[in-house]
Amino acid sequence: MRVTDTSDVWWKTAVVYCLDVETFLDWDGDGTGDFAGLVQRIDYLADLGVTCLWLMPFYPTGDRDDGYDITDFYGVDARLGTHGDVVELIRTARDRGMRVIADLVVNHTSDKHPWFKASRSSTDSPYRDFYIWRADAPPDTSAEVVFPDAEDSIWQLDERTGEFYLHRFYRYQPDLNIVNPAVRDEIAKVMGFWLELGLSGFRVDAVPFLLETQENTQQDKATFPDPHAYLRALRSFVGRRTGDGILLGEVNLPHEEQAAFFGGGDGDELTMQFDFIGMQNLYLAMARGDAAPLAAALRARPVISPDCQWATFVRNHDELTLDKLSDSERQEVFAAFGPQETMQVFGRGLRRRLPPMLDGDPRRLRMVYSLLFALPGTPVLFYGEEIGMGENLAVEGRMAVRTPMQWSADTNGGFSTARPNRLPAPVVEGGYSPAHVNVSDQRSDPDSLLAFVTLLIQRYRECPELGRGECTILEQPHAQVLAMLSTWDDGSLLTVHNLGAERCTVPVQLDGCDATSCLTDLLVQGNVPLDDGGRAEVVLEGYGHRWLRVTAADSRRLV
């Protein structure tokens, strides 16, 4: 196995961990998380096995969309720290073997951004064309809004000049006009700035909307006929400036359309994209206790260039979107995991975390995380998943899953020493509160979810077959089972997951194997014999999961 390749293209076998500095750890006791707190927990993240931190927006903000409404792309929100603190964090992370990427939110700015203030000041402002304006009354665009609870149009009338500006998201997030070369130059400068401070790339927000020029004039479009050329330019810019930096794009589109955002066969646009389709079908498969939807989604992934990668996840900071399922499929997932209206949001997603959705069933929870790390791609965790945090439905909308990290059973879950009413959001209450779910307790418990996720990460890192290899879904007789064989170079790993509650025995046949090889269990002690025809019988408990390395008699790989 060519282990050396794994350091070269590091992101193919990375473990990404998303967090918001604001809710991770408050070190100065003012109620808000800060860089000084995060840096105190770098060793915790390194012990967990994280290799890449993804920081949610930490820039100065109007703070109406949890930092995704930015007022200064070059700044650091003073509540969180300074540029010096960011650099110290990046440096300390690097020392512990972790890279840092951050959200790049350049589809839009806050309406409080100086560019927008200048743009709206008059129709002949030099910044007017930084945004997209129209003078005539817009048509009905209510079907196009992203947040239907708050908006009914993607255009907002600006009283001062009597024209309308485009906003794909909230009205206080005017869309930047990338057709304007001056805007493109500014975006490149922003990226260059943070890369120079040590970031290893970006999670790029809302990529399809960023590239969208549908609302520009015909004349504009003629000067900028190929928005994907711009994405190619950004990828090569990051490559030139860093050598190995990445663009991890948010592109929630059908698989066929995602292929274009990778740059098709050339693989020269986004380095990685989240597999939203796989994620949504994972929930459908879990709801049904039938692996077929997930298997179909994996099989339907477009073939991508070796220069690209899928990012897998079971939860992110937004609503758990089910928008790409059919209406009846979505209802099945709602019925299984979020039957009450208060658990749902925007008519398309859930605002819950996984453990409460699974009624806290530890077998199912472990099976899902085992599956996440076994899927072909690079796994992305959202903070708190490793300890099984729940949500707080008393907190509005998507913020229900963005509550403070639970470090201990102390006041505020050890997140802050401030009065509880000063926190960015109240901590989780009830069975998933810090009294029951916290890092400190789980660190000293070898049977904890934290210990299990740490093991999964260790094994994932030791099995580059998963991040880099070819994955084949094996035929076997049980509808509730997903059996995958991941192969890279001379290594192969069989992973088997039971999405159903019944115990079963899975017959598998591995080409090219005979009784001189065996299947070595990587999660518990033991192995499964193979016969001369390469056949084995793998026993799976209800919601069971197994990682089995195909081990030849003369193998020198450590287990």
Question: In the complex with ligand NOJ, which residue's Cβ is closer, 211 or 457?
Answer: 211
Selected from 65, 158, 385, 462, the binder of ligand NOJ by CB under 6 A is 65
List binders of ligand NOJ among 240-299 (CB under 6 A). 250
Please give the residue whose beta carbon sits closest to ligand NOJ in the complex: 68
Contact in structure between 494 and 508 (CB atoms under 8 Å):
yes
Q: Residue 529, Cβ neighbours under 10 Å: how many?
A: 11
Q: Does 68 bind ligand NOJ (CB under 6 A)?
A: yes
**For the chain, counts of helices (H) and of strands (E):** 19, 22
Catalytic residue flag (residue 329): no
Alpha-carbon dihedral angle through residues 458, 309, 377, 535, given to the nearest 10 degrees: -110
Residue 131 DSSP symbol: B
Sign (positive or negative) of CA dihedral 543, 549, 551, 557? negative
The SS3 call for residue 370 is helix
Residue 446 C-beta: closest distance to ligand NOJ, Å: 35
Residues 324-343 that bind ligand NOJ (CB under 6 A): none
Catalytic residue among 250, 268, 385, 462: 250
Candidate list 169, 194, 313, 369; residue touching ligand NOJ; CB under 6 A: 169
d(CA 120, CA 111): 9
Answer whether 550's CB lies under 8 Å from 490's CB: no
Show the site string, 120-159: x = touches ligand NOJ by CB under 6 A, - = not: ----------------------------------------
- CB 205, min distance to ligand NOJ, A: 5
The answer to the question of residue 206 lying near ligand NOJ (CB under 6 A) is yes
Out of 34, 205, 319, 391, which residue is the one contacting ligand NOJ (CB under 6 A)?
A: 205
Smallest gap from residue 164 Cβ to ligand NOJ (A) = 19
26 binds ligand NOJ per the rule CB under 6 A: no
Closer Cβ to ligand NOJ, 145 or 463, answer by number: 145
DSSP state of 122: -
Q: Clarify whether 205 is annotated catalytic.
A: yes
Cα 92 from Cα 77, distance rounded (Å): 20
Applying the rule CB under 6 A, the residues between 467 and 506 that interact with ligand NOJ are none
Residues 306-325 that bind ligand NOJ (CB under 6 A): 318
390-449: which residues touch ligand NOJ (CB under 6 A)?
none
Looking at the DSSP bridge assignments, the partners of residue 381 are 17
Q: Round to whole Å and give the CA distance between 280 and 298.
A: 11
Q: Which two tokens stand for residue 386?
A: 């490793």
In a 3-state reduction of DSSP, which class is residue 5?
A: helix
* Count of residues engaged in binding ligand NOJ, rule: CB under 6 A: 8
Strand 378-382 to strand 16-19: parallel, antiparallel, or no bridges (unpaired)?
parallel
Identified catalytic residue from 85, 111, 205, 318 = 205
CB nearer ligand NOJ, residue 110 or residue 448 = 110
Q: CA-to-CA distance for 133 and 23, rounded, in angstroms?
A: 36
Question: What single-letter DSSP state applies at residue 176?
Answer: B
Q: Which is nearer to ligand NOJ, 319 or 465 (CB)?
A: 319
Report yes or no: 164 and 155 within 8 Å, Cβ to Cβ.
yes
Q: Which C-beta is closer to ligand NOJ: that of 68 or that of 337? A: 68
Does position 543 interact with ligand NOJ (CB under 6 A)? The reply is: no
Residue 520's Cβ-side half-sphere holds a number of Cα atoms within 13 Å equal to: 17
Amino acid at 97: G
CB of 137 to ligand NOJ, least distance (A): 25
Structural tokens at position 13 = 């076998």
Looking at the Cβ atoms of 261 and 543, the one nearer to ligand NOJ is 261
Q: Which is nearer to ligand NOJ, 252 or 438 (CB)?
A: 252
Closer residue to ligand NOJ (CB): 270 or 294: 270
Nearest to 517 by CA among 545, 487, 546, 555: 555
Helices (H), 344-397: 354-357, 362-374
Q: Do the beta carbons of residue 34 and residue 21 sit within 8 Å? A: yes
CB of 173 to ligand NOJ, least distance (A): 6
Answer for which of 36, 102, 105, 494 binds ligand NOJ (CB under 6 A) is 105
- Residues lying near ligand NOJ in the complex (CB under 6 A) are found at 65, 68, 105, 169, 205-206, 250, 318
Looking at the annotation, which residues are catalytic?
Answer: 205, 250
